[in-house]
Amino acid sequence: MSLLPPQPPPVRREVPIDPYTTIALTPHTPEHLQRVWLWLLYGANTGDPAAYRLPGYEQAKLSAR
């Protein structure tokens, strides 16, 4: 029996993209621009942590003991 704690599974990284596929050599259609706009609006920053909030009075009171 090991004395070490169980280890979490490895982090799954996203598939890297090829830079040449992100450059458009032709003008975009309005449908494509709308799809990109919606993706940026609703899909970006989903992994951000919550905003920092100062501890409440009860929590500060407990930590001051």
Among 39, 57, 47, CA closest to 11: 47
Q: What is the pLDDT of residue 48?
A: 66
d(CA 51, CA 37) in angstroms, rounded, equals 24
| pTM listed for this prediction | 0.33
Structure confidence by residue, pLDDT tens digits, 3-62: 888 888 888 878 787 777 777 777 888 998 898 888 877 776 666 667 788 888 888 887
Q: How far apart are CA 43 and CA 23, in angstroms?
A: 20
Where do runs of H (alpha helix) occur along 1-65?
A: 30-43, 57-63
Q: Tell me the per-residue pLDDT of 46-57, one tens digit each, with 9 for 90 and over.
A: 666 677 888 888
